[in-house]
Amino acid sequence: DKQKQQQKQPSTSTTATATTTPYSALCDVFTEIENVSGRLEIQEKLTTLFRKVLLKDGGGDGGGLDDEKKATSTASAASSKADNPTQSDLYTLLYLASNTVAPQHANVELGVGDGILIKAIGEASGTAPNMIKKKYEKEGDLGNVAMNAKGKQRTLVGFGKATSGGPKRLSCVDVLKVFKEIANVTGSQSQKWKVDKIKSLLVRAKGCESKYIIRGLQGKLRIGLAKNTVLASLSHAVMLTKPRGVVDLTEEELARIRKLDGTDEAYPPTARSLCEKRLPPLDVQLEAAVDIVKKAYNEVSSYDALLDALLSAPIQELHQHCALLPGVPVGPMLAKPTKSVQEVLKRLDGLRFTCEYKYDGERAQVHMLSNGETKVFSRSLLNTSEKFPEVPLYVQESCKETKVVDFVLDAEVVAFNRETKQFVPFQVLSTRKRTEESAESAKVQVIVQAFDLMYLNGKSLLDKTLAERRDLMKKNFLPIEGKFQYATSIDHTEDGDTAVIEEFLDAAVKGQCEGLMVKTLDVNAAYEPSRRSLNWLKLKKDYLEGLGDSVDLVPLGAYHGKGKRTGVYGAYLLACYDEDTEQFQSVCKIGTGFSDEDLKELTASLNNHTIPEKSSQYNVSDTLACDVWFDAVQVWEVKAADLSKSSTHKGAIDKTGENGRGIGLRFPRFERIRTDKKPEDATSSDQILDMYYAQDSIVAGGDGGDDMD
Ligand code: ATP
């Protein structure tokens, strides 16, 4: 049952449309957010809206902490969530605010083509589509074009006519329902149907509503609101709305207090004041709540499952209600880069660890449900079962004898030559089609290299140590030649570590691997979903003398090419991602490493994502004015000579401790596009800062100089 609940689609089919939040209320908040840049301010605005929904307020000031009556009634409402109309509204708001229609692993994405949108705007506003197209080309924002086209039409139509009546105003539920229908429909026949659906929304839209409908359907709200802020706002809203601390009291204690106070209230004032005294300061509680909610979300990767739990259990107990289940992928655990065996030994001083080959393939989280259904998920939680149809079969075969009921296994799928019994480079694996019929018909053969087990026979193993998880993996999944193997590993031994590990690293690289993954075995050895943990270290041979790792950056804009590069972009501006401010911060200009073919392909693909001006989400110095700006849509792997402090670039700008100087990359070189990463998965500013400080020159006492641009 719980599994079904977690896999269900967002609850938009509510009967409570009458009491649902008007779409205009959400759009007003979007507009406010678009006009501010401070993360906290943005978060507060969304928190207020979420609280209004929780409080069934629908207006006013969103209530206050001392508004005891409201809080109490909400807590009871939240706990009896059946038939609660506010409940489905919050689900809806979460999806609309994060501009998604389903959990990531459902592979359902919004992203309607401009042609369809232009047609719908034209029909809804009575304007010829080529006029809309021209305006779009001139202004660059189809949302604004839609808003202005509608505005104009209303004046004309309304002129001299009675304005009473008219179509019913849009609610958030209405909008998400249509977004979902559109995202789910396929086939070319669907075009006219889509135009009609979008038109049906636009004719009912007022003011800025059409702007956000169109931007939402394009897949980019462009207001600088990302998942982390949505989750933080949700945590704050719930914490501030449910009575604080009453969870400390048992039901018996509450019953006694109710009797003493002579009230039926779920949380009588005496109970509340008793708890207030025992509680840490509000800020501390709010911060803790955000951590708990983010951790829970990382395990279930679904707003529905998160909210189900959040509305029915105290935040402090969220973990028990929001745990990993087969069928729902969790954010994979990630590793920190290191530059030498000595550094590894220093970081893991005294802890027992294992070194595994780091395979150069694609991450695969393999889930088997108790009904035998088996799915594969990628690093960014997309369902890749159709790309690797043989992977479920290989893993099922490996645990056939041991009668496993259900599981979640972490592994790398690697291209493999069965005749030579050798791994094949990643470039070959990346030629696999999105959908392959079978192993036999696919050009590239693969093998599963398993390295972790997160769930087995009804139980989550996340809190167990790696040593325990690995034992269970080896007991329950048996190797099959050419199909399923464990990651080759050696465990930490007391003597001669450096030499043994260096030899093992050499062997890994000779065997077509990228290097080693080094992981703690017993202490600090739990599986940490979505975390880049110090308990997993990566050691890559090519970068031992350089930065320790390549970086993954997002192209924000480009400069027109000259000479041999006329007609394509000659250079690009790249950025890292700052998780705290949810901004993309420029770290380098890049013009090296591209083949002629790369230059053509990148220009063509990014030309579909141009925007009229620099986004408010981009932290870029004015001196780096690009000829063309793009939406953040791609991630590129880049190698560089080193990192330096920069007066031009903004990498980790708030974290360098130097006024106005960020961190930039010197001599960057393009390697490849990372199709498995979303822009928010790019190298973070924290990682850039770590890499800067880990450089030999800085460790030796240098100050990193200044950059050269
Ligand atoms: P990250 O995933 O850390 O953001 P990235 O995507 O650039 O970085 P790498 O730095 O190459 O990837 O290393 C991490 C990846 O290595 C994992 O996501 C996984 O796909 C792969 N990998 C290969 N072998 C192992 C192993 N033995 N244990 C864990 N991961 C492994």
Q: Whose CA is nearest to atom 24 of ligand 1?
A: 358
* Alpha carbons 67 and 48: distance in angstroms, whole number: 14
466 Cβ closer than 6 Å to some ligand 1 atom: no
Q: From 512, 538, 549, 577, give the residue whose CB has the most ligand 1 atoms within 8 Å, as the site to mutate.
A: 538
Q: Distance, CA 518 to ligand 1 centroid (Å)? A: 11
Largest CA distance in the chain: 92
pLDDT, averaged per 10 consecutive residues of the chain (709 residues), comes to 42 45 96 88 94 63 33 36 54 94 84 91 93 89 90 46 64 95 80 92 94 93 87 92 67 89 85 78 88 91 90 84 90 91 87 95 97 95 94 97 96 95 92 88 95 96 97 98 97 72 91 94 94 92 66 97 92 94 93 94 93 89 94 94 91 86 93 91 94 78 57
For the entire predicted model, the pTM comes to 0.76
**Sheet containing 489-491: order of strands:** 334-338, 532-540, 515-520, 353-358, 489-491
The phi, psi pair for 252, rounded to 5°, reads -65, -45
Q: Distance, CA 527 to ligand 1 centroid (Å)? A: 15
DSSP code for 402: T
359 Cβ closer than 6 Å to some ligand 1 atom: yes
682 Cβ closer than 6 Å to some ligand 1 atom: no
**Is 265 within 8 Å of 297 (Cβ atoms)?**
no
Number of the ligand 1 atom closest to the C-alpha atom of 357 = 27
Q: Distance, CA 359 to ligand 1 centroid (Å)? A: 8
* Alpha carbons 324 and 462: distance in angstroms, whole number: 8
678 Cβ closer than 6 Å to some ligand 1 atom: no
Interface predicted TM-score (ipTM) of this complex, two decimals: 0.97
- How many CB atoms sit inside 10 A of residue 266's CB? 17
* Alpha carbons 294 and 513: distance in angstroms, whole number: 33
**Is 27 within 8 Å of 209 (Cβ atoms)?**
yes
540 Cβ closer than 6 Å to some ligand 1 atom: no
Residue 454 tokens read as 């997160």
Q: Distance, CA 356 to ligand 1 centroid (Å)? A: 11
Number of the ligand 1 atom closest to the C-alpha atom of 549 = 10
356 Cβ closer than 6 Å to some ligand 1 atom: yes
Q: Distance, CA 334 to ligand 1 centroid (Å)? A: 7
635 Cβ closer than 6 Å to some ligand 1 atom: no
Q: Whose CA is nearest to atom 29 of ligand 1?
A: 517
Strand 618-619 versus strand 583-590 pairing type:
parallel
379 Cβ closer than 6 Å to some ligand 1 atom: yes
* pLDDT attached to residue 543: 60
* Alpha carbons 219 and 215: distance in angstroms, whole number: 6
For the chain, how are helix, strand and coil distributed in percent, rounded to 5? 40, 20, 40
Residue 61 tokens read as 């000031």
Catalytic annotation present for 358:
yes
Number of the ligand 1 atom closest to the C-alpha atom of 514 = 11
Q: Distance, CA 232 to ligand 1 centroid (Å)? A: 28
Q: Whose CA is nearest to atom 18 of ligand 1?
A: 363
Q: Whose CA is nearest to atom 2 of ligand 1?
A: 334
363 Cβ closer than 6 Å to some ligand 1 atom: yes
* Alpha carbons 258 and 268: distance in angstroms, whole number: 6
Q: Distance, CA 516 to ligand 1 centroid (Å)? A: 10
552 Cβ closer than 6 Å to some ligand 1 atom: yes
538 Cβ closer than 6 Å to some ligand 1 atom: yes
Q: Whose CA is nearest to atom 31 of ligand 1?
A: 358
Q: Distance, CA 581 to ligand 1 centroid (Å)? A: 26
Among the listed residues 70, 336, 339, 358, the single catalytic one is: 358
* Alpha carbons 286 and 307: distance in angstroms, whole number: 17
Q: From 333, 334, 671, give the residue whose CB has the most ligand 1 atoms within 8 Å, as the site to mutate.
A: 334
676 Cβ closer than 6 Å to some ligand 1 atom: no
The phi, psi pair for 182, rounded to 5°, reads -65, -40
* Alpha carbons 682 and 676: distance in angstroms, whole number: 11
Q: Distance, CA 498 to ligand 1 centroid (Å)? A: 22
At 297, which amino acid appears? Y
